[in-house]
Chain A
Amino acid sequence: MKITKKDVEHVATLARLRFDEGEVELFTDQLNKIMEYFEKLKNVDTTGVVPSTHAVDLSNAFREDAVKKSLPSDESLKNAPDSEQTFFKVPKIIEV
């Protein structure tokens, strides 16, 4: 199945990316070539095969629900592009 420019624009929106016309064309072309290569997986019979999300057996890791030391807020905010008091600051979310 062919990926169209519209698909690329839709996926870019989902991924919160923006592309200009040239980039959309390049990505459409490259993604098509890559996805076409992936088609070879269709040749593998996977009936009844359980998918692996990890290679090593893992189960949920629980710990006591105890309060532990964490980063103080001023340390946590040090790398923030913008902050105020103990908050991260972002541009307007809702237009009034």
Chain B
Amino acid sequence: MTKQLYQMTIHELNKLLEDKKVSSGEIVESVFKRIESVEEKVHAYITLTYDLAMQHARDADGRILRKEAGFLTGIPLAIKDIICISGVKTTCGSKMLENFIPPYDATVIKKIKSQSAVFAGKTNMDEFAMGSSNETSFFGPARNPWDTERIPGGSSGGSAAAVAADECIASLGSDTGGSIRQPASHCGVVGLKPTYGRVSRFGLIAFASSLDQIGPVTKDVEDAAILLNCISGFDPMDSTSVNREVPDYTKALVKNAKGLTLGIPKEYFVEGLDPEVEKAVRDGIREIEKQGAKIKEISLPHTQYAVAVYYLIAPAEACSNLARYDGVKYGYRSDCKSNLREMYEITRSEGFGPEVKRRIMLGTYALSAGYYDAYYKKASQVRTLICRDFENAFKECDLVVTPTAPAPAYRVGEKISDPLSMYLDDIFTVPANLAGLPCISVPCGFNDKGLPMGLQGIGNLFEEEKVLRCAYCFEQNTDWHLRRPFKDAVSAC
């Protein structure tokens, strides 16, 4: 059967568009028909923007006729609902911002618009990106397209589910402790978190500012490189973005791994790791070895402290970032009008969900008088040790290769009442955020229940090229990324 337009990748569609075999309008229609047939089951979107998409498609088609097209021209993208698009409701998965319409574009959106890409809608997410399952979304969770009884992962679960279910061509997510890679792993797609500072955070609603980074969620590694090319670069509006040349990441995509040394950290292959995940990842490593890489066992001795460090630092930063939601400037305000203090308290208590409140409480406690040294400062010191672990590792290897998540997707509701057990699932993804490192998750197999599993590659600072090369080499020599859920639902669109 020939591939439908909605099933294709950016690079496939770009070729068809340039050869005038299809128009952007036709691609948008195909994607929205697909959305119509599966979205009810997946709930990947909070907002769909069909009219805007058709308008963008007309602009894109005009540009293609004038031979001014870029790689993203006319391609329907889904944007995580934490990234501001001017004039489009941006909720962050929260009642607090249920009706918030940003008056400006995030820098990544400006960059994407400059190539005349098309916005299909805003994707579902855990409230304020706090969660690993999508269950904390005020609008109800997105579902895993491979088994809709299961979570898609989080927080960018809507983005990963939309890409896996072919409800968009590609997506942007954000990653603070694994929020791009873990859902990508659970949904069988590619997710890339760039180096901290590679991509501007201007217009990304802040969760934990020293950890947050925007990145692509895509159907294959080539698309991740194409999107990264577009969104990377210094931005005067984000003082933590780094002024450093952006290479053409697609040039890094070669099909062999010759000259690369992969470090396999023994601390990531321990008790608690699902045996099927372990086997899939070890098989994956052997595949990359076959393509020319050297394999070396390494040690990242402070790995076991990463979750504790992350869950002190991220909530500490979050409680400060979320102080802005006070019912004054934008967002929800409670009806209570007695006095200012009461208005603040009731607004915040009604506007935030339980997980957000839990993290605000954790952060506020860790920063409060008498506890700062024991918790926040201590965590920041151990963070230094985690960074040093990686510095030492990259003296002996080019990339660190690990599982993305300790187990495949669990059932909706299974962990919601036990926050600590959910936090512990982030063990393999949080270290790269703490150390600011670029990393990727690529599909590396399916378990006996048919659920996807992911292999994670972590590179040294600003070495996205090596990360992409290794992932591409693995992907091109396997076919896990070609599998798609909802086989029966494929209809002629």
Contacts and interface: CB of A to CB of B under 8 A. Distances in A.
Interface of A: 3, 7-8, 11-12, 14-19, 27, 30-31, 33-35, 37-38, 40-42, 44, 46, 49-56, 58, 60-61, 63, 71, 75-76, 78-82, 88, 90-93, 95
25 contacts: A11-B365, A14-B364, A16-B326, A17-B348, A18-B345, A27-B357, A27-B361, A31-B358, A41-B309, A41-B378, A44-B305, A44-B385, A46-B378, A49-B385, A51-B377, A51-B380, A54-B240, A54-B436, A55-B437, A56-B196, A56-B436, A56-B461, A58-B197, A75-B103, A81-B333
Chain A at the B interface: mostly helix, strand, loop or mixed?
A: loop
Given A41-B378, A56-B195, A79-B331, 17 more contacts: A3-B365, A8-B361, A16-B344, A17-B349, A19-B349, A27-B361, A31-B361, A38-B312, A41-B308, A44-B302, A55-B387, A56-B461, A71-B104, A79-B101, A80-B329, A81-B330, A91-B342
Nearest to A12: B361
A75 B72 CA distance: 30
Given A78-B101, A78-B103, A11 B348 contact: no
Contacts of B319: 15
Contacts of B358: 27, 30-31
Interface size range of chain B in the complex: 35 or more
Contacts of B365: 3, 7, 11, 31, 35
Interface string B355-370: 0011011101100100
A31 B362 contact: yes
Most buried by B among A8, A33, A34, A50: A34
Contacts of B307: 37
A76 B329 CA distance: 8
B343 A90 contact: yes
A92 B342 CA distance: 10
B384 A52 contact: yes
